[in-house]
Amino acid sequence: MSRWWRRPSVVRLASSVSVMAAVELVTGPPGSNAAPMAGVSGSFAEKVSFFGLFASPRWSVFLVYALVLYGVWSLWLHRGRQIRNAASVVLARPRNIAQRGTIRWSAAVVLVVVAALLPHFVSDPFWQTAMVEQIAVYVLLALGLNVVVGFAGLLDLGFVAFYAVGAYATAWVTGALPLPPLFGVHLNPFFAIPIAIALAMLAGVLLGTPTLRLRGDYLAIVTLGFGEIIFLFANNLNGITGGSAGTGQIPHFSIHLASIKYVWGLAPVPYYYLTLAFVVLFVIAFSLLEHSRIGRAWTAIREDEVAAESLGINPLKFKVMAFAIGAASAGFAGVVTAAQTNFVNPSVFTLYFSINILVLVIFGGMGSISGAVLGAIVIQTVSMYLIHTPPAGYQPQDLYIYLGALLIVMMIFRPSGLLPSKRRRREIGLAEAGEGHMDEVLTGDTP
């Protein structure tokens, strides 16, 4: 068994080189049919720096990186204990603080205040728009998916369907669809909020009732298919949704109460405050939910469905409930998007979108509300930054490569996420120790 390619140092070197080769491919200039490997061969940058290192071909630069990685890795193996001890001394205090209830609450209040003051510091119109369309809306979506994936432990790959329902419901109620609105009345988007949320929840019940009987892996693939079907319908039902061209002229939010008249216009900041208010509402509602009877039922089902059922919990009922409740915030996100952009475009409602939301939840921490919020803010800010100031050779679609890689990396190194929920983390630890029954439904034999 002492073959040379199995020696740990050789394996480490080979892994370092292949990791860096992957990074090189991923960050390189885009290739094409004629030059499929442009990402490997091109030169790194035009400017000569670091003794000409960066003017050499990309592969040589990344080879150097690979050697550095190998060095750091070996150092970590030999001196890892000291590094970890030093890190734990530095990190110990904040970790303790974050666990105290009152401090957590005041931290949340401070965060909300910071979020409310943020538009005064951000003057770039790109970032102001991004704060609404790409960050606040995604926080809402991540909160909703967190209920489904995090609380109830159901992997939903078609979450975009509820967002689409919310957006199209807004367009319908405000009279922007080819389909005539209810009673022919064109409503203000404010009235669309309850209708859109109700329709999204209804969609959750309709989609969930048949599919949530299925095992976890089947559920994932079925929801994925449903997401695609929603896209097909939105794209092809010209008489109802306006087809692939989408539908426009959705009015902005407005208030006409006696003497108060206010219209949310194209400016993003008023929309930011509106969305922020709802984010706070949803965060409060979902954290109350987490520790309520329903939340405890979800935990029970997630940890051991058979035991939960024997204690009188109806798994299907609570799973459908999770779908419907998660759909509510996605439906509301749809209302905001539709009203703010005045436009619904079916090309948004694809698998890419669902996976994007999933990444936010996984990165932040499944089952942790603060994690979902943080994940959405961090990842969406980074992705917006990449669009705002793209590095050389970056295409907008490249983001998906990084998100895919991030999912694998998180699952290998930190499956409970950046800000893990304590309970979830314990479950994963127990499952790895071979105790408990978390997610056993996924792999167990069918009855």
Partner 1 sequence: MINYFTSHFDTLRLEFWPLLVGGLASGFIYAMVAIGYTLVYGVLRLINFAHSEIFMSGGFASYFVIRAVIGTSQPSGLESILLIGLGVVSGGAAGALVAVLVERVAYRPLRRRKAPALAYLISAIGASYFLFNLAGKEFGRYLYAYPTIFVNHPVFTIFGAGVQMYYVVVAIAGVIMLITLDRVVAKSKLGRSVRAVAQDAETASLMGVNIDRTIVVTFLIGGALGGAAAFLYGITSGVIYTMGFTPALKAFTAAVLGGIGNIRGAVLGGLLLGVVESLSVAFVQGSYIDVAAFTVLVLVLLFRPTGILGERLGRSA
Q: Does the footprint of partner 1 cover residue 8 (CB under 8 A)?
A: no
Compose the 90-129 pattern: x for residues touching partner 1 by CB under 8 A, - for all others.
----------------------------------------
Q: Tell me if 140 sits within 8 A of 279, measured CB to CB.
A: yes
Tell me if residue 215 falls in helix, strand or coil.
coil
Rounded least distance, CB 404 to partner 1, Å: 3
Residue 257 or residue 408: which is nearer to partner 1 going by CB?
Answer: 408
Residue 51 in 3-state DSSP?
Answer: coil
218 binds partner 1 (CB under 8 A): yes
Of the candidates 48, 87, 92, 232, which one interacts with partner 1 according to CB under 8 A? 232
Query: Residue 82 interacts with partner 1 (CB under 8 A)?
Result: no
Choices 73-81, 163-171, 181-189, 209-217; region in contact with partner 1 by CB under 8 A: 209-217
Q: Do 360 and 191 meet the contact criterion of CB atoms below 8 Å apart? A: no
Applying CB under 8 A, among 11, 14, 26, 109 the residue interacting with partner 1 is 26
Q: Does 229 bind partner 1 (CB under 8 A)?
A: yes
Cβ neighbours of residue 368 closer than 8 Å, sequence gap 6 or more: 146, 150, 417, 419, 420, 421, 424
The token duo for 145 is 């998916």
Give the integer Cα–Cα distance in Å for 143 and 286: 8
Is residue 361 within 8 Å of residue 412, measured between CB atoms? Answer: no
Name the DSSP letter for residue 151. Answer: I
Nearer to partner 1, 39 or 268 (CB): 39
Kindly tell me the burial class for residue 13, based on how many C-beta atoms sit within 10 Å of its own C-beta (0-12, 13-18, 19 or more): middle
Spatial neighbors of 62 by CB under 8 A, at least 6 apart, are 20, 21, 23, 24
Q: C-beta of 220: minimal distance to partner 1 in Å? A: 6
Q: Which is nearer to partner 1, 138 or 363 (CB)?
A: 363
Nearer to partner 1, 7 or 100 (CB): 7
Whichever of 107 and 224 has its CB closer to partner 1, that residue is 224
When asked if residue 155 is in the footprint of partner 1 (CB under 8 A), the reply is yes
Rounding to the nearest 10 degrees, give the CA dihedral for residues 295, 297, 303, 305. Answer: -150
The total number of residues shown for the chain amounts to 447
CB closer to partner 1, 339 vs 410: 410
- Closer CB to partner 1, residue 32 or residue 123? 32
Q: How far apart (Å, rounded) are the C-alpha atoms in residues 237 and 385?
A: 36
240 scored as a contact of partner 1 (CB under 8 A): no
| Site for partner 1 contains 400 (CB under 8 A) | yes
Question: Does 418 sit near partner 1 (CB under 8 A)?
Answer: no
Among 398, 418, 419, 426, binds partner 1 (CB under 8 A): 398
Asked if 411 touches partner 1 (CB under 8 A), the answer is yes
Residue 434: burial class (beta carbons within 10 Å; 0-12, 13-18, 19+): exposed
When asked if residue 85 is in the footprint of partner 1 (CB under 8 A), the reply is: no
| CA neighbor of 159 nearest in space, from 405, 341, 372 | 372
Do the strands 260-263 and 254-257 form a parallel or antiparallel pair, or are they unpaired? antiparallel
Is 333 a binder of partner 1 (CB under 8 A)? no
Q: Which residues bind partner 1 (CB under 8 A)?
A: 25-26, 30-33, 36-39, 153, 155, 157, 210-211, 213-218, 220-222, 224-225, 228-229, 232, 235-236, 351, 355, 358, 362, 395, 397-398, 400-401, 403-408, 410-412, 415, 427-428, 431-434, 438-440, 442-446
